[in-house]
Structure formats: structure tokens, C-alpha cells
Amino acid sequence: MMALKLIGFLILLGLCVSCATAESFQPIRPRFSKDPGRIINGTLASMEATRHQIGLRKRLNDGYFFGTGHLCGGSLIRYNWVLTAAHCFVDQIIYDGTFLDKDLFIIVMGNLDRFNATNTLTFDIKQLFLQVEQFNVSTYNKDIALIELDGYVPVNHPTIRPIDLGALEVPTDTVCQVTGWGLTEEGYNSDYLMTVDVPRISDQDCRNSLLGGNILPGMICAGYLEVGQQDACSGDSGGPLVCQSQLAGVVSWGISCALPNYPGVYTEVSYYYDWIVKTIEDNEDGSGENSGSGSGESSGDHSGDDDDGSGEEDGSGEEDGSGDGGGSMIAVTCTLTLLLPALLALRH
């Protein structure tokens, strides 16, 4: 009888521990959703400062009504090249890291109002270059995608202009700007592009935050560690983090939005600089149309990612580095793998 009571007690204790763990755990949440997303505590963006901003849209949705297909942001880095996040192309139904066909998407740019077609240009994706063949949805490692458009933006276009790439690591405490479309902190939809200022957080401080070992090489953090309040959020994925007028980061992931000790995480452009430049150079068609202007490269030494990815088109590339950060992830990675698909299913 005593043995049965002891077994019952142990079972009850295990259930209590499981419940407490489930309540306290907050899984990685990508900065993207089928809803338009939001910039927390931001302001209306200006055209002059955001001419590089593009919208990655679902072709089918946008075909019904212009602007409704918005999925992710991105940046024009040359007149026929765009940089965004790899996870924007992940199949959200099966959610095992499989990428969808590039032909399901279009690129739209040229207006702060995503429902206004004035001055906008729409492009198909000619080639899609990724660092991995299958995305790791539990770590968001190598969350970067390079897109070659099927045409060129005219050099003299009034509302579109490429942004320079940041080749050097951004100094700590540099105030940067993040932009995106969608819901504000009040919860209403914004038709217009929003912007928010966030300071660059040092790598050490980011790893000392509640994000801990989730921060892998090629990721940087930005935001207000102690107070939160200002951040990118769902729907802003792939969008630009601009520091000192250069593209320094790509909106990648976070845990909740604008919470203290949970800064936003961005793919670091300087880390992948060499891969970006080499991929573009290897795939230029030599036509010369607009290719000499707005190239976006910055001069100086840089710490590019020489070993990551071969830049094959349509999702091919080197194998997923699932072993990165292995020891530091421990049980957290396992829990993220189990809970993240369920979380995203609820958000959709």
C-alpha cells in the first residue's frame, strides 16, 4: 500500500513540474506570420529613408487584392537583387524546414502604403539563393536569402533605391532603424510602413540575456534589454536593420515582442558579406543594365562568412549546420523543436 502511495506521489510531482516548465517556457517566435505583423512603439517611416524596403508577397493572395499578399520584408541591395530571411520561404503547413517553390512569391516595392500601387514595381523571382537545403526551424541558423529579380529597377525611379551593405560589424550601442508593415502596439492594422529605433546590443550582453545559448554565429541582437518596449514583431521578418545608413541586419526571430531581457535577433549582414557579394558577381548576366549603380558594397576590411554555402539557386547549398551551438542549446533546442510548430499554428 505504501509503495502505491509513493508511486502516486511521484506521478503527481512529475505532472506539477511539467506544468510549471510549460508555463515558464517561451519558444522562439519568427518575426513573420500570415497577419501583417507589427512594429512596437514605432512611427511612420519616411520615403527618403526607406527607398530600399521591399515586400515579399504570396502571389495568389496579392492577385485577389493588391497588398493582401504581404508576408515578409526585405531590402533592395542592387537594382536587381534583394536580401531577406530564409524562413520566409519555409512551408508553414508541414513546418519541417522544407522550402516552398520560389514561383509562389512576388517582390513589390516603391510605396510606403502596401495597398497603394502608385510608383510600385512588381517582380518575379528569377533565382533564390540559400545557405541550406532545409531550414532548421528549431535554431533559425543561417536565416538569410538572396534573390535575383527577373528585371531591373530603373536607375532614375523616384521612390526606389538600393541600400549599401554593411561590410563591418556594427559597434555596440549604435542606434539602428527597423522597418515593417502591420499592427501597432494598439493592435490596429497599419497600411503604412512603420519604423522604430533600436540600439545594437553587444554579443556578450545578448548571450547573457534570457536568450542565452540560442544566439549562434551570424546572429546579432538589437533592442532595449532592461525595458524592452521597442522591437520588431510578427510580419516584419526579412526586413532591414539599418545602422549608419547601411544594411546591418535582417529581421529573423525573437521570443515574444518588446519584452525586457528578450531583444530582437537579426541575421548579421557583415557575417555573410563575402557570400552575398560572390553570389552576385558569379550570377551577373553581363548586360550592364543599371549594374554599375547602387551596388551597395562598402569599402574596408570585413569578417565575411567564407565557408557558408555555395550559393546554388532554388534552395540548394551546403548542408544545414545543425551541429552549431550544440552544447549550449541542451534541452532548450529539443523543447523548441516540439513547441514552435504548435505556436505558429495557433498564430495563423
| Catalytic residue numbers, as ranges | 87, 143, 237
Query: What contacts 96, CB < 8 A, 6 or more positions away?
Result: 134, 137
Phi first, then psi: give them for residue 56, nearest 5 degrees.
-90, 125
Estimate to the nearest angstrom the gap between the alpha carbon of 134 and the chain centroid: 16
Query: What contacts 150, CB < 8 A, 6 or more positions away?
Result: 123, 124, 125, 126
Contact between 148 and 283 (Cβ < 8 Å): yes
Query: What contacts 165, CB < 8 A, 6 or more positions away?
Result: 77, 246, 247, 269, 273, 276, 277, 296, 297, 298
State how far the Cα of 109 lies from the Cα of 139, in Å rounded to an integer.
Answer: 30
* DSSP codes of every residue in 116-179: --TT-EEEEEEEEEES-SS--TTT-TT--EEEEESS---TT-SS----EE--SPPPTT-EEEEE
